[in-house]
Structure 1
């Protein structure tokens, strides 16, 4: 029997779908006949979604279909007098909350068509349902648009994904406002600390019916809720409307430390707003993701601020939420206790991101995150099906809401397997076939770098290709790298390089510290790596391995942080573990700058003598300046364990303290969101990518300088290799 199952059952006189994941002890139940409501989700024996006593309650009691489970809202919340205008047309919705309001729409109570359900290892257990306005003439009378909703609930790897696809099948642009209303089960009994954490940007002042009073601002709640607030003190029937911080990882958490678990609820950034609500009829709390603020079409503020928007004929909107529990995760409570201790004891350590933001003006929850493109549905064609594509690119793209639509690899069966695992609809027999597919707009290459030029030569011939994301190194030598850049520029195609250490969270945060001058003029920067690589087979035909394939991360990071050096000095020896011929197994290289800054990296791939001895594997970095110092670690060596990189810094601008900002995201795979996002932004705006091919040629030149220094036993002027 497989890990996953999906079955049709009868409960309380209704047909329901039950999805199971035995490995994570997860059970999800939904009822298509009443709003396609996910009315139950349990994991590890914990009730996550508050379940009604009987399913008859959902259908028979007034408003009950909006009081339990996970109601689907269109539009979310209230519309004053049930009326609004869009594109010159006035809409009059039924007054279903007398005497003055329309509340939550009618999708919450109508029957949905069950399209399919099933279970497969690697894909999970799923159920797909559909609702179309065109099949409901009474609804078309007040909303005359053929909008269809297809929702897939998918239980995979211990997480419950709700994938919404909304399509305008009509001839006119339609007003669009979508939301969800999950009721999370929360034990409010005496003695429990229930902590809520939301990555909020600001708060909208609202009435107790969630109507907006004025434009948003940073408030005490929007600051404190980032680190966690106690829900026990949240007012019954109280509500708060928050703008999500689009640069932060969009995960809301409800931590229940006494019971040893945390509810985690991840939203894609199609939901810019969340409404918080504590009901009085049950022990529950709602975190409601919205595409707009309450009654946005009737507000006098710019639509880009309120989310008031339309959906064009033929347009599809995809929105995803993901729900799971984290067992014994007391991080929010521990952070709160630590902060309280810090405040009371006047400690010389600051761990609160909001506290650091208040003191130094840097919001680390924001600066570590990539800026996302406005359009996320660029059609991405993926070349490669190995680890880096399967477990890094595609996982990151799913979390970011990007749109990979096709994949190809050197081995068709491998590509097919990855497509099934990651939900990619199209598998091409060859990479050439994928490149020529007119549906592809963005090419994502995860082939060995000695194959990239061949792919790019074919890609630049295709008029539909608008952007290419290449692996690092861009090529195995600067000559081929320059040809790639020249070809793309001549074809008008944006080319970027996957130098993803720039998006490691500690490096991103360090860049913000340097840019704000908190360390003063840098004096010395060091990276120390003790790690054992798995050299790819193609490298055996080359003698340059470590600096070009691993050290390149450190070299590119030095350039990102400090710019181009004046001089480069490098030494290397062979790695005793690596059996094929090579120049550089263990390497050390130093960049010298006009300011006298020295940036040096020691890359040790020996690191461990072997069986019978203990391992000491790590990556550390340090930057010392005239006015401060920063140190950090890179979490990657523990992969696949999710270990965040760390940062601690001290500065004269807040003397006597070490500041230690915190985050949950990790280099692998989360940083890969940034490398694709910066390319999509460039395509969208017509600008040069942040990690563009032309800039990356200077990283390749710095690598040339290292090898030239090793070969000639001298310090090399950087201008010699440009």
Structure 2
């Protein structure tokens, strides 16, 4: 590590779980290689602020069993797939039905997968960690996604906040569907001295997708309520109504963002998700204060089973040797 830096990159447990830690200035972050390369912490240590929902020490076993409601879990494929199956490009994919009430597959296979640490270090401008997972015939996930591919995530911490660079590289001989999203789980309030009533958020959502009783898109859209319109303008409480809602993304001023503001301290967390993500899920645990999830997704929920334009749905074909990538950033203003 260079002596010129103002940051560190090191290995140290997060509670009882192996973790990679990055620091830079007042920022601190932690990543869990053995639990989906999950960005489990992003903090401002000078103000004792934790922006992401973190499991407490006594919650770690429950977290390992259900890792999608803390930190920034990787979903591949994201959200729900009807009866756990779809046919794409002549291949039928069959996933376990793990949500009994809807008889769907939910959230994919990577949120609890083990990633390898490719690099961990610092430079004059940042601290960073690079993690990857490669799927081939010898990996258990191959039975569900029969392709040879690598997912690589580079986390960079600097004075500009935390950058996530995500890359999916098809290193096989057949085209594959690229279905990816993140179940980003934010504290609201993130400041321990504030109340959830001090918080409002905006998001660059477009139209709300109509969902059927199985939480699957019908292909139709619905008009936004007055409160949902406020999500797009001057902001609204993250808990204005129970939300497990799916929206198209509609970038504003060239950016695809969620902004969460503590009106008491006039502090805003910006989550710039990147314009490649064509959809948002917004989930708030039945309007229960404490946390909510603005989830960027490349593809529409259940996209291979929906008869819509593939570009509109964000249903991406990754040809052999091709790379899909996008960056997202957390920063504070």
Say which of 137, 151, 176 aligns to 1:149.
Answer: 151
Please show how residues 203-222 of structure 1 align to structure 2 within 5 Å. 203-207=208-212, 210-216=215-221, 219-220=224-225
| Greater fraction of residues in helix | 1
State how far apart, in whole Å, the 2-side matches of 1:282 and 1:208 are: 25
CA distance in 2, matches of 1:89, 1:80: 16
For structure 2, list consecutive stretches of 5 or more residues without a partner in the other structure. Answer: none
Shift of 1:207: 4.6
Matched, 1:86 2:85: no
Would you say the 8 A contact 2:238–2:292 is kept in 1? no
* Larger Rg belongs to: 1
| Residue 306 (str. 1) matches residue 309 (str. 2) | no
User: 1:298 offset after TM fit, Å?
Assistant: 0.8
- Describe the superposition over 1:483-503 as per-residue Cα deviations: whole angstroms up to 9, x where unpaired: xxxxxxxxxxxxxxxxxxxxx
Considering fraction of residues, name the structure with more strand: 2
What do residues 50-93 of structure 1 show as CA deviations (whole Å, max 9, x unaligned)? Answer: 10113x74555575211111110001101111100101211101
| Matches of 1:276 and 1:131, distance apart in 2 | 27
* Separation in 1, partners of 2:315, 2:223: 21
- Superposed, 1:529-548 pairs within 5 Å as none
Alignment counterpart, residue 272 of structure 2, candidates 266, 276, 284: 266
SS of match in other structure, 1:30: strand
SS in 1 for 2:12: strand
The higher-RCO structure (CA 8 Å, 6+ apart) is 2
Shift of 1:145: 0.3
Q: Are residues 117 and 313 of structure 1, via their aligned partners in 2, closer, same or farther at CA, if it must alter by over 3 Å?
A: same
Q: List structure 1 runs of 4+ shifted beyond 3 angstroms.
A: 56-63, 188-191, 207-210, 220-223
Is the CA contact 1:192–1:258 (under 8 Å) kept in the aligned structure 2?
no
Q: Distance in 1 between matches of 2:161 and 2:72?
A: 16
| Aligned twin of 1:12 | 15
Gaps of 5+ in 1: 327-722
Q: Distance in 2 between matches of 1:271 and 1:108?
A: 18
Q: Secondary structure at the match of 2:329?
A: strand
User: Post-superposition shift, 1:149?
Assistant: 0.4
TM-score calculated relative to the size of structure 1: 0.42
For residue 232 of structure 2, give the secondary structure of its aligned residue in structure 1: helix
CA deviation map 1:504-541 (0-9, x unaligned)? xxxxxxxxxxxxxxxxxxxxxxxxxxxxxxxxxxxxxx
User: Is the alpha carbon distance of 1:168 and 1:190 closer, same or farther for their aligned partners in structure 2, counting shifts above 3 Å?
Assistant: closer
Measured against aligned partners, the alpha-carbon deviations of 1:582-609 in whole angstroms (never above 9, x if no partner) come to xxxxxxxxxxxxxxxxxxxxxxxxxxxx
* C-alpha displacement of 1:217: 5.3
Q: 1:28: which partner in 2?
A: 29
Give the aligned length.
321
Partner of 1:49: 52
Retained in 2: the 8 A contact 1:192–1:256?
Answer: no
* Deviation of 1:102 (Å): 1.2
Residue 183 of structure 1 and its aligned partner are, at CA, apart by: 0.6
Aligned residues of 1:253 and 1:263 also touching (Cα < 8 A): yes
Q: 1:201 and 2:203 equivalent?
A: no
> Distance between the aligned counterparts of 2:291 and 2:60, measured in 1?
16
Kept in 1: contact 2:33–2:114 (CA 8 A): yes
1:297 aligned onto 2:298: no
Backbone CA RMSD of aligned residues: 2.3
